[in-house]
């Protein structure tokens, strides 16, 4: 009959299925014709097969390697330089298998002591070079094995002081370094500039934002958002034919100030991805029709739209009261004001013309906005149950380019004032949802280039800029290079990408193409969307220097690789995808284009697909304990792991690895802390390295010459710590290690004992 389908088990009686009745090794599952499970309740694998950490039988390294969690009690396990060490109490034989019998453990039979226990003595023979034979007949290097007072057997190995290879002697000092065992963690890390952002929070700038349900709700909820990256979309269509009012600018700055307070008081990793735009892609008529529907209809509709601008559904009296209490009408002026320790406004100096009272209460009179108001801008609808208004924007983009350039000039003053909390500015103000497509200016190379030039000139150079496609990147960088070299150099150092069509199709939902134009007025066809393979390679190189990320899109297409477990099938799915929503295809794509951030609310349908299909089996066995969504989230951006450390000839070496999809694009300080074990004395040294240049998925070794610093170590013993510090955020970067993190010193990597001879 042949093999079962991928992911299915062949029962003792020759039927295919997925339950324990089919898959349990105890029940006679036939591993040569399908998958089989193993473990304490499922039994051992058949001969010559290994039981993986997750409890599946197989023959590849993913199942058999001890470093991947192979369970030696339920099958074979491999050991050695390629596979890692056997579990405690087991021996690694000359062929690289773990076991406990004489054939595995005898040194005379080739037992490998560096990858497991080895036995010595009359029955087993001598230990290898440099090893001692303990009283109980095991080979090792420490005093427990080597001291005669502990029963060391000199006929079967060395005896004397510990023979550890971390000991170094010099004419002046005797030094011994004991490294910590650095264990990898598979948990999420709270680090800046990477990870999930939590919904496309969107507000409208108007003269009357103090009555806008959605603006008030967003303002109040800044302090309650999840930690990490924050997205903030600002719609400007109220001012499609005029400059932005001072009232609106005051509302905008107050909102940014809430994010700064959040950074200082709640989450030091708070960083904003900011976008200004005019057209939200939906007609005002449709929005009004939705407004008149039931709350259930509104909620269902909101679940499938990207913009999070539905504050009227959730706003409370407490939200309104909070804005009244903390709003500062003088924030954008030279008027002095005082804040208490919680950053609440205590008093303000106002003049007779100020429309706010001295208690800082916003003037919440009921404005006479009705469904029939003849306004040039958007429409306000009174929501009686919430005592605030729903604002429906016009979604009109300015006709005149000069209007947009004027808005950039107005907004840049506030943006630059808050550059410490703004990580990326996305887009060029134009296009539906600000995504640079489908509107007059967004399809014009001339207009879009002028807008990018203005943004590049006006926005603080510390803020990354991002455009929607590689085609846009090539167009702006090339056009501006022709015009001004200095502008080009400034742009190229920070121009990045954002992709809000990730995984939706082969083209990432129109991000790539088969030589498709980006701009209607590009008559020479200079700037074209290239096929996926070319654009992926372009991003693979570019995004080692600038960030990339965005939103994912699901589809409802079938996938022949929906449930796969074998590495050969995974390779097929990646090489020739049947559906670009496939978990393995998404992971490979994210790794290639160096993704740093996703929206955790959009698209939940894709995340559910990953979780249902792939939480059972991720092909890296050590990651089997997490779901597909968690795996992707944990690898967004950088993810540093401390591997090991050593000390030789006054040189301390620290090995680490970035296993994330992307580098860090912000430089951090690398610090070595030597802290006395017996007093308050410590020595802090800067390590000369640039974390933004650390390669991905390969070990990096940092070396520190301590020759000139050892004399400063006045005490006998010092704990050695490694610390990675972000000076801009005053935040210590967390590593993917289970080892304890010390808030002041970082991660302990070893202990250095020093005595004057």
Q: Closest by alpha carbon to 273, among 110, 6, 496?
A: 496
pLDDT > 80? residue 436 = yes
Of the three residues 78, 112, 135, the one that is the final residue of a domain is: 78
pLDDT > 70? residue 350 = no
Work out the percent of the chain whose per-residue pLDDT is above 70.
Answer: 87
**Would you say 266 and 306 are in contact if contact means Cβ atoms under 8 Å apart?**
no
| Same domain, residue pair 221 and 298 | yes
| Same domain, residue pair 261 and 370 | yes
| Same domain, residue pair 620 and 732 | no
pLDDT of residue 479: 97
Put residue 343 in one of left, alpha, beta given phi > 0 → left and psi -120 to 50 → alpha: left
Main-chain phi, psi angles of 307, to 5 degrees: -75, 130
> Does residue 333 sit within a domain?
yes
> Quick one: which H or E segment has residue 631?
helix 628-635
How does pLDDT run across 263-312, given as a tens digit for each residue?
999 999 999 999 999 998 764 444 544 445 544 443 333 334 468 899 99
When pLDDT is averaged across residues 723-741 and rounded to a whole number, the result is: 97
> Does residue 233 sit within a domain?
no
pLDDT of residue 302: 35
> Quick one: which H or E segment has residue 326?
helix 317-326
pLDDT > 60? residue 51 = yes
Q: For residues 512, 518, 520 and 523, what is the CA-based torsion angle, rounded to 10 degrees?
A: -100
The chain-wide mean pLDDT, for the chain, equals: 86
pLDDT > 80? residue 347 = no
| Same domain, residue pair 367 and 251 | yes
Within a 10 A sphere around the Cβ of 91, how many other Cβ atoms? 29
Burial 156-191 (b: 16+ CB within 10 A, else e): bbbbeebbeebbeeeeeeebbbebbebebeeebbeb
pLDDT of residue 312: 94
Distance (Å, whole) CA 194 – CA 188: 11
| Same domain, residue pair 671 and 571 | no
Q: How many domains does the chain have?
A: 6
Question: 169 falls in which pLDDT band (50, 70, 90)?
Answer: very low
| Same domain, residue pair 147 and 179 | no
Question: 714 falls in which pLDDT band (50, 70, 90)?
Answer: confident
What domain range includes position 45?
1-78
**Would you say 551 and 604 are in contact if contact means Cβ atoms under 8 Å apart?**
no
pLDDT of residue 351: 32
> Does residue 272 sit within a domain?
no
pLDDT > 70? residue 646 = yes
Overall size of the chain counted in residues? 757
pLDDT of residue 375: 58
| Same domain, residue pair 28 and 60 | yes
| Same domain, residue pair 508 and 644 | no
Classify residue 13 by burial, with Cβ atoms within 10 Å: 0-12, 13-18, 19+. Answer: exposed
Distance (Å, whole) CA 117 – CA 301: 62
Of the three residues 573, 605, 635, the one that is the final residue of a domain is: 635
> Does residue 73 sit within a domain?
yes
Tell me how far CA of residue 546 lies from CA of 195, 430, 658, in angstroms: 15, 22, 16
How does pLDDT run across 105-128, given as a tens digit for each residue?
888 788 888 888 888 888 888 887
| Same domain, residue pair 384 and 408 | no
pLDDT of residue 5: 76
| Same domain, residue pair 503 and 391 | no
| Same domain, residue pair 609 and 644 | no
Of the three residues 553, 577, 598, the one that is the final residue of a domain is: 553
Main-chain phi, psi angles of 128, to 5 degrees: -75, 180
pLDDT > 50? residue 168 = no
**Would you say 207 and 247 are in contact if contact means Cβ atoms under 8 Å apart?**
yes
Distance (Å, whole) CA 191 – CA 637: 10
Question: 60 falls in which pLDDT band (50, 70, 90)?
Answer: confident
Work out the percent of the chain whose per-residue pLDDT is above 90.
Answer: 59
pLDDT of residue 131: 83
Helix (H, G, I), strand (E, B) or coil at 106: strand
Structure tokens at 78: 């491999």
pLDDT of residue 69: 82
> Does residue 235 sit within a domain?
no
**Would you say 471 and 528 are in contact if contact means Cβ atoms under 8 Å apart?**
yes
> Does residue 232 sit within a domain?
no
**Would you say 394 and 381 are in contact if contact means Cβ atoms under 8 Å apart?**
no
How does pLDDT run across 5-29, given as a tens digit for each residue?
777 888 888 888 777 778 888 888 8
Return the bridge partners of 339, or none. Answer: 345
> Does residue 83 sit within a domain?
no
Question: 362 falls in which pLDDT band (50, 70, 90)?
Answer: very low
pLDDT of residue 356: 35
When pLDDT is averaged across residues 448-457 and rounded to a whole number, the result is: 98
pTM (2 d.p.): 0.73
pLDDT of residue 737: 97
Question: 363 falls in which pLDDT band (50, 70, 90)?
Answer: very low
Put residue 388 in one of left, alpha, beta given phi > 0 → left and psi -120 to 50 → alpha: beta
Distance (Å, whole) CA 53 – CA 621: 6
When pLDDT is averaged across residues 716-741 and rounded to a whole number, the result is: 96
Q: Closest by alpha carbon to 268, among 620, 727, 707?
A: 727
Higher pLDDT, 84 or 633: 633
Structure tokens at 234: 């600002």
How does pLDDT run across 512-554, given as a tens digit for each residue?
999 999 999 998 999 999 999 999 999 999 999 999 999 999 9
| Same domain, residue pair 435 and 371 | no
Tell me how far CA of residue 31 lies from CA of 23, 24, 562, in angstroms: 9, 10, 21
């Amino acid at each position: 009959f042949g093999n079962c389908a991928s992911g299915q088990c062949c029962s003792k009686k020759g039927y295919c299925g997925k339950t324990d009745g089919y898959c349990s090794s105890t029940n006679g599952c036939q591993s040569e014709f399908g998958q089989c499970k193993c473990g304490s309740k499922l039994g051992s694998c058949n001969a010559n097969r290994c039981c993986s950490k997750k409890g599946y039988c197989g023959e590849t390294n993913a199942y058999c390697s001890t470093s991947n969690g192979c369970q030696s009690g339920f099958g074979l396990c491999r050991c050695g330089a390629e596979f890692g060490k056997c579990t405690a109490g087991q021996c690694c034989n000359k062929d690289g298998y773990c076991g406990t019998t004489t054939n595995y453990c005898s040194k005379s039979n080739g037992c490998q002591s560096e990858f497991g226990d080895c036995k010595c003595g009359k029955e087993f023979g001598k230990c290898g070079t440099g090893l001692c034979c303990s009283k109980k007949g095991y080979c090792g290097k420490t005093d427990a094995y080597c001291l005669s007072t502990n029963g060391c057997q000199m006929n079967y190995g060395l005896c004397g002081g510990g023979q550890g290879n971390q000991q170094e002697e010099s004419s002046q000092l005797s030094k011994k370094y004991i490294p910590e065992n650095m264990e990898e963690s598979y948990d999420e890390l709270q680090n800046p500039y990477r990870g999930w952002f939590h919904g496309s929070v969107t507000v409208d700038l108007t003269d009357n934002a103090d009555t806008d349900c959605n603006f008030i709700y967003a303002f109040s909820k800044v302090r309650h958002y999840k930690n990490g990256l924050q997205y903030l979309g600002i719609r400007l269509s109220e001012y499609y034919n005029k400059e932005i009012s001072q009232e609106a600018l005051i509302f905008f700055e107050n909102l940014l100030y809430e994010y700064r307070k959040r950074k200082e008081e709640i989450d030091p990793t708070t960083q904003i991805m900011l976008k200004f735009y005019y057209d939200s892609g939906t007609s005002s008529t449709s929005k009004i029709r939705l407004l008149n529907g039931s709350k259930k209809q509104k909620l269902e509709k909101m679940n499938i739209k990207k913009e999070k601008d539905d504050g009227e559904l959730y706003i409370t009296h407490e939200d309104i009261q909070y804005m009244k209490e903390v709003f500062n009408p003088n924030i954008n002026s030279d008027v002095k004001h005082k804040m208490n320790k919680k950053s609440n406004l205590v008093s303000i100096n106002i003049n007779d013309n100020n429309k706010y009272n001295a208690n800082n209460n916003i003037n919440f009179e009921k404005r006479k906005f009705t469904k029939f108001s003849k306004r040039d801008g958007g429409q306000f609808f009174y929501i009686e149950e919430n005592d605030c208004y729903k604002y429906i924007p016009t979604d009109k983009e300015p006709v005149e380019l000069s209007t947009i350039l004027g808005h950039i000039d107005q907004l840049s003053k506030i943006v630059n004032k808050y550059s410490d909390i703004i990580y990326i500015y996305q887009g060029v103000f134009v296009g539906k949802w600000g995504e640079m497509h489908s509107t007059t200016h967004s399809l014009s190379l001339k207009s879009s280039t002028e807008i990018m030039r203005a943004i590049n000139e006006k926005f603080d150079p510390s803020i990354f800029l991002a455009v929607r496609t590689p085609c846009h990147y090539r167009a702006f960088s090339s056009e501006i290079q022709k015009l001004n070299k200095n502008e080009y150099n400034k742009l190229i150092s920070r121009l990045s990408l954002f992709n809000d069509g990730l995984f939706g199709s082969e083209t990432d939902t129109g991000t790539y193409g088969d030589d498709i134009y980006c701009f209607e007025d590009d008559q020479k066809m200079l700037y074209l969307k290239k096929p996926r393979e070319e654009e992926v390679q372009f991003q693979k190189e570019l995004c080692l220097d600038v960030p990339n990320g965005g939103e994912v899109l699901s589809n409802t297409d079938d996938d022949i690789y929906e449930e796969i477990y074998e590495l050969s099938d995974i390779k097929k799915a990646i090489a020739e995808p049947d559906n670009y929503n496939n978990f393995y295809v998404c992971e490979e794509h994210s790794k290639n284009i160096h993704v740093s951030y996703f929206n955790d609310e959009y698209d939940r349908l894709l995340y559910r697909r990953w979780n249902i299909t792939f939480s059972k089996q991720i092909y890296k066995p050590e990651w089997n304990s997490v779901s597909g969504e968690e795996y992707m989230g944990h690898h967004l951006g950088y993810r540093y792991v401390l591997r090991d450390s050593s000390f030789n000839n006054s040189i301390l070496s620290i090995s680490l690895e970035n296993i994330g999809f992307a580098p860090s694009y912000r430089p951090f300080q690398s610090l070595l802390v030597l802290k006395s074990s017996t007093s308050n004395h410590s020595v802090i040294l800067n390590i000369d390295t640039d974390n933004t240049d650390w390669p991905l998925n390969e070990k990096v070794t940092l070396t520190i010459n301590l020759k000139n610093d050892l004399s400063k170590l006045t005490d006998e013993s010092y704990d050695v710590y490694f610390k990675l510090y972000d000076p801009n955020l005053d935040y210590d970067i967390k590593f993917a290690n289970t080892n304890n993190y010390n808030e002041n010193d970082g991660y302990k990597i070893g202990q250095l004992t020093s005595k004057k001879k």
